[in-house]
Structure 1
Amino acid sequence: MHYVHAGQGPESLLLLHGTPKTSYYWYKLFPLLTQHFHVIAPDLRGFGDTDKPPTTDGYDSATNSQDVSELMTLLNIDKFHVHGEDRGADFAYALAATCRDRVKSLSFCEMAVSGFGLEETSYWTEENLTAQYRQKGIWCWHLGFFSIPHIPEMLIQGHEREFWEMFMKQECYNPNAIEHAALDHWVACSMQPGGLRGILETYRAGFKNAANHRALLEAGGKLTVRTMTIEAPEFFGPIVEQSISRVVERVERSEIFEECGHSLALEKPERLAKCLREFMLGVD
């Protein structure tokens, strides 16, 4: 597992990225947090410079939460805060539900929990299809597409730059938030041997994630960990809080980032850092 870490703060903060991103995604956020936290950001399994096992198994939320909990153990960090966006938020929930005695607070952002609202966002309905234009959420058309074996690889390979640029920019309020250097990095990672397959396998594990999350809720009940949500009107919107509220006792803080899309750390880094500092440390 490849990871980066920095900072001398008294508290540890684990950052979990989404698709098709890597630890590089947090480049605007690190300077805003490292005076207050020891910040740790891995490349999740299948992404970036982390291994991409040549199997269809092991890309689910249970395995990913185990990966990152073992990373924190390796770094001699017993208790920590966690912030996840997109796919990373789904894994962050699994981590908090699996390691209830280790996660001090959960920042669940721009995602719906697998098994508790995510699947419904992909249904082909007129309401979903027009949701973004009515500012009522988003149609996650890609969930079904990415989960099909072989077909996405056939269509995306050779067009990685065009596809990921379209994919990421259409999720943003301001497409210019996706800077060329960052996009170049993520495209190059997806073109590595196993890079595209590794990304797609996290989607092919979707139903396994849903089953895992339902089992975690049944076994341990709703989470009591301090929880914050952040939603962007240009993407998931109110679905974020609605979904996580089904698996946590209480959402302590809920934020709406106006004029913002799916990439919070790129579109609103200063506001995101401020929310994390206030919620997790009680400082501005």
Structure 2
Amino acid sequence: MRGFQNGQAEIDGAEIAYEIGGSGPPVLLLHGFPQTRAMWSAIAPRLTDSFTVVCADLRGYGKSAKPEAVADYSFREMGRDQAGLMRELGFERFDLVGHDRGARTAHRIALDFPDRIKSLVLMDIVPTHLLLDQLSMQVAKAYYHWFFLAQPAPFPERLIGADPDYYFESCLLGWGASKIEDFDPVQLAAYRAAWRDADTIRGMCNDYRAAIEVDFALDAADLDRRVACPTLLLYGADGAMAQAYDVPGTWADRCADLRAMAIPGGHFFPDTAPEETSAALLEFLG
């Protein structure tokens, strides 16, 4: 991203790739599946007049570490990476924004490091435990990838590896109201470069395996806990989650101070509606 500096930090033995730019209070932006930190390319520069913006690749994604064990991909482990990165950069407290898997990681960070998070923005997710525990036919059909990617290795890896662009672009075009032309060509090229790597495919599969094998139990143990900091929930007005759930209602008993807003588009509204997304972030963070 123009005006941003690339970096690589070793956090407890895991290399985490990031970019940093701007000045002011720190804010961390976390991408989702099947993307990289490049998803913030049209949003992060709009925040730099007011904030020091850090965009990081989750472990398993982009240029960050891709360990072997499924347990290494829990949202708790991903969250420790990112909390450690911000401390390495000198930021003890910070605002936190996440989309998709990045939002699930952000939710876990807010629970595990409550004193470090000033505010939280969750984009187009319902709670992980709720989605899995109360799975409906509608959601299972729309979010089939949760269960395909979670199959034992190397089954999904081999099928995806035969044509990564075809598979992952089918994900980008699913979950509501997108066509390939809606995605910035430079950002799309960055996604393709990442997901064509066999280790990245494995890492993304392990992310979904860990959600079922590790995160479900962690979240079950924390069902009575609420995020204490101010929280903004953004969701795609035409996305699969909005069609299946009262999305704000799924978070009402999990956040002490919650506000919510629908953004035009489907699940990938940060890519397809960056102006509206940036405006919502600036209003909330300001």
**Into which bin does the TM-score normalised by the smaller protein fall?**
0.7 to 0.9
Deviation at 1:256, TM superposition (A): 1.0
Out of 151, 163, 168, the residue aligned to residue 167 of structure 2 is 163
- 8 Å CA contact 2:142, 2:175 repeated in 1: no
> Number of residues paired by the alignment?
265
2:131 to 118, 130, 133: 118
Contact 1:90-1:114 within 8 A present in 2 as well: yes
Determine if the alignment matches structure 1 residue 3 to structure 2 residue 18.
yes
**1:255 aligned onto 2:270:** no
> Identity of aligned pairs, percent?
26
Structure 1 counterpart of 2:70, one-letter code: T
Query: Where do 5+ consecutive residues of structure 2 fail to align?
Result: 1-15
Which residue does 1:264 correspond to in 2? 269
Query: Counterpart amino acid of 1:7?
Result: G
Distance 2:267 2:73 in 1: 22
Task: Give the drift of 1:31.
Answer: 1.8
Higher strand residue share: 2
Alignment of 1:36-185 (within 5 A): 36-115=50-129, 117-119=130-132, 123=136, 125=137, 127-128=138-139, 139-149=142-152, 150-175=154-179, 176-185=181-190
Name the CA distance, whole Å, in 2 between partners of 1:246 and 1:204.
Answer: 26
CA distance in 2, matches of 1:276, 1:6: 17
How many Å separate the matches in 2 of 1:112 and 1:203?
A: 15
**Cα deviations by residue, 1:138-172 (Å, 9 ceiling, x for unpaired):** 82111111100122112111211111112102235
Question: Following TM superposition, by how much is the alpha carbon of 1:94 offset from its aligned partner in structure 2, in angstroms?
Answer: 0.3
**Cα distance in 2, alignment partners of residues 261 and 80 from structure 1:** 28
How far apart are the structure 2 equivalents of 1:180 and 1:277?
A: 25
Distance 1:183 1:122 in 2: 31
> Secondary structure at 1:212's aligned position in 2?
helix
Q: Which amino acid aligns with 2:187?
A: A
Q: How far has the Cα of 1:120 moved from its partner?
A: 5.4
**Equivalent position amino acid for 1:119 in 2:** L
Please tell me the root mean square deviation across aligned C-alpha atoms, in Å: 1.8
CA offsets 1:83-136 (integer angstroms, 9 cap, x no match): 111111111000011111110001111012211x2225754x2x447xxxxxxx
Distance between the aligned counterparts of 2:232 and 2:88, measured in 1? 27
**For 1:185-224, what aligned pairs fall within 5 Å after superposition?**
185-207=190-212, 208-218=214-224, 221-224=225-228
TM-score (ref. length: structure 1): 0.88
Q: What TM-score results when the alignment is normalised by the length of structure 2?
A: 0.87
Contact 1:122 1:142 in 2 (8 A): no
- Within 1, Cα distance between the matches of 2:144 and 2:87? 37
Once residues 142 and 234 of structure 1 are traced to their aligned partners in structure 2, the CA distance between those partners, rounded to angstroms, is: 19
Q: Secondary structure at the match of 1:101?
A: helix
Inter-CA distance 264–120: structure 2 relative to 1 (3 Å threshold):
farther
What does the per-residue CA deviation read over 1:16-73, in whole Å, with 9 as the maximum and x for residues that have no partner? 1100111111000022111111110110000010010122221001101100000000
More divergent stretch after superposition (21-30 vs 176-185) = 176-185
After superposition, the C-alpha distances for 1:237-272 in whole angstroms (9 at most, x for unaligned) are: 144323222321231x210113x1111221111111
Secondary structure in 2 matching 1:147: coil
Deviations along 1:165-189, whole A, 9 cap, x unmatched?
Answer: 1210223523222233322322221
**Structure 2 CA distance, aligned partners of 1:66 and 1:270?**
30
Which 10-residue stretch deviates more, 88-97 or 161-170? 161-170
Taking the aligned partners of 2:207 and 2:216, their CA distance within structure 1 comes to: 12
